[in-house]
Amino acid sequence: MAGTPSVQQLMQAESEAQSIVEGARQEKSRLLKEARSDAAAEVERFRMEKEAEYERQLSLEMESNQSSGEKLRQDTEHELFQIEGQSRRNQGNVVEMLLGTVVRVEYD
């Protein structure tokens, strides 16, 4: 009978060890789930931050393109106005030059 309490003690110790191991497994599982959740939240935060940064950059580029387009339009209108003015001023000279060339006959 002396062996029986020792066996019971061993069985109780084994049972306690299994409980400790099971508790550690559960804690490990909980920590892994928490780490995954934290990592997913960090990834989502980072993605949202980068998306917002991209949207801001895109908006700035669009504004820049619009202002560049507006400046190009204004410059083009200014140049056209200058060309039209030059053509009106030179119209008489061009007509005279054409008529002079057409009417003048040179004999060789």
Confidence band (pLDDT; 50, 70, 90) for 3?
A: low
Amino acid at 36: R
- Tell me, rounded to whole angstroms, the distance of Cα 79 from its chain centroid: 37
Give the C-alpha separation, 58 to 64, whole Å.
10
Amino acid at 90: N
- Per-residue pLDDT tens for 73-103? 888 999 999 989 888 888 888 888 888 777 7
DSSP state, residue 40: H
- Per-residue pLDDT tens for 33-75? 999 999 999 999 999 999 999 999 988 888 887 888 888 888 8
Total residues found in the chain within this entry: 108
DSSP state, residue 105: -
Give the C-alpha separation, 6 to 14, whole Å.
12
Q: Copy the structure tokens of residue 108.
A: 């060789």
Where would I find the beta strands (DSSP E) of the chain? none
